[in-house]
């Protein structure tokens, strides 16, 4: 499979865009000066057992990239079979002075689904990123399958966020997700990024350079994080939350 590549780099007063992919296809929505908006579109029904999605994103120095997902992601499996886990791995480099806002839609792991997922972000000097990640165990009436999710954010000084989650919908563990099916998070990293407190969500202040605002619950549509404006959070202008 052809990996998905979104490479935005400065060119004169504007930018050049390299966009390619097969399972996930990037489409240019708009471009203005050093700012670009790109939509990520599924190339076909996915994720199926054994699918392997690799996403490589580079935001060049001084550029701003807004990524939007078109349709959420559903992880399918074959009932009664233990096959290869689906893979979804994204690596993001935000170069000096660059900014990224990624407004992700839910990833749903069905009862028979199995997903290994990772998100790795490297920030350059004065770079910032705001991302929404919504993980859901099961469709309505389901308990959900297996999920291994790792998040790793760092800059030149070292780690900012390192988080690992391993859960099974049919074997809930106290102190992890408990009875909750949904973990909805907004990760805000870098000195220029800020998300205000959101009623109904928990705020986790990082040791430096950011925060995580998180909702745990039964239904994705009950999450209060849908009212957070990632662009406002990224550019540090009000309002960053809409009631």
- 65-117, pLDDT tens digit by residue? 999 999 889 999 987 666 689 999 999 999 999 999 999 999 999 999 999 99
Helix (H, G, I), strand (E, B) or coil at 221: helix
* Domain span holding position 150: 4-177
The answer to whether position 167 is within a domain reads yes
Confidence of residue 233 (pLDDT cuts 50, 70, 90): confident
The answer to whether position 236 is within a domain reads no
| Alpha carbon distance 171, 215 (integer Å) | 21
Q: Tell me what the mean pLDDT of segment 120-132 comes to.
A: 96
Summary mean pLDDT of the chain = 90
Between 31 and 241, name the one with better pLDDT.
31
Q: What is the pLDDT of residues 160-209, one digit of tens each?
A: 999 999 999 888 776 678 788 999 999 999 988 888 899 999 999 999 88
- Contact partners, residue 68, CB within 8 Å, separation at least 6: 29, 37, 38, 39, 40, 103
Tell the residue number behind the tokens 């994705």, with chain if given: 220
The answer to whether position 144 is within a domain reads yes
Confidence of residue 239 (pLDDT cuts 50, 70, 90): very low
The answer to whether position 99 is within a domain reads yes
Q: What is the largest CA-CA distance in the chain?
A: 56
- Is residue 243 pLDDT above 60, yes or no? no
- Determine the pLDDT at residue 80: 67
| Alpha carbon distance 79, 73 (integer Å) | 19
- Determine the pLDDT at residue 71: 87
Domain count of the fold of the chain: 1
The answer to whether position 198 is within a domain reads no
The answer to whether position 240 is within a domain reads no
- Determine the pLDDT at residue 47: 92
- Determine the pLDDT at residue 45: 83
Q: Tell me what the mean pLDDT of segment 22-34 comes to.
A: 95
| Alpha carbon distance 92, 102 (integer Å) | 11
DSSP summary character for residue 206:
-
| Alpha carbon distance 114, 79 (integer Å) | 11
The answer to whether position 199 is within a domain reads no
| CB 108, CB 72: distance < 8 Å | yes
- Is residue 236 pLDDT above 70, yes or no? no
- Is residue 237 pLDDT above 80, yes or no? no
Alpha carbon 38 to its chain's center: 14
| Alpha carbon distance 122, 140 (integer Å) | 36
- Is residue 55 pLDDT above 50, yes or no? yes
Tell the residue number behind the tokens 């700012």, with chain if given: 35
- Determine the pLDDT at residue 174: 63
The answer to whether position 208 is within a domain reads no
């Amino acid at each position: 499979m052809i990996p998905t590549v979104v490479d935005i780099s400065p060119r004169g007063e504007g930018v050049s865009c390299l966009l390619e992919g097969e399972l996930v296809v990037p489409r240019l929505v708009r471009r203005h000066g050093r700012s670009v908006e790109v939509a990520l579109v599924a190339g076909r029904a996915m994720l199926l057992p054994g699918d392997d999605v690799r996403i490589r994103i580079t935001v060049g120095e001084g550029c701003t990239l807004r990524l939007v997902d078109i349709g959420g992601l559903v992880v399918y499996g074959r009932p009664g079979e233990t096959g290869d886990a689906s893979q979804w791995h994204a690596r993001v480099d935000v170069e000096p002075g660059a900014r990224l806002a990624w407004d992700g839609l839910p990833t749903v792991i069905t009862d028979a689904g199995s997903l290994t997922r990772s998100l790795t972000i490297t920030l350059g000097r004065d770079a910032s990123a705001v991302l929404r990640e919504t993980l859901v165990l099961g469709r309505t009436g389901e308990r959900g399958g297996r999920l291994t999710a790792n998040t790793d954010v760092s800059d030149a000084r070292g780690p900012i966020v390192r988080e690992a989650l391993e859960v099974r919908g049919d074997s809930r563990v106290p102190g992890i997700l408990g009875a909750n099916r949904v973990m909805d998070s907004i990760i805000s990293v870098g000195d220029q990024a800020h998300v205000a407190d959101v009623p109904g969500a928990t705020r986790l202040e990082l040791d430096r350079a950011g925060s995580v605002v998180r909702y745990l619950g039964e239904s994705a549509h009950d999450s209060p994080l849908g009212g957070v404006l990632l662009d406002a959070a990224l550019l540090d202008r009000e309002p960053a939350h809409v009631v």
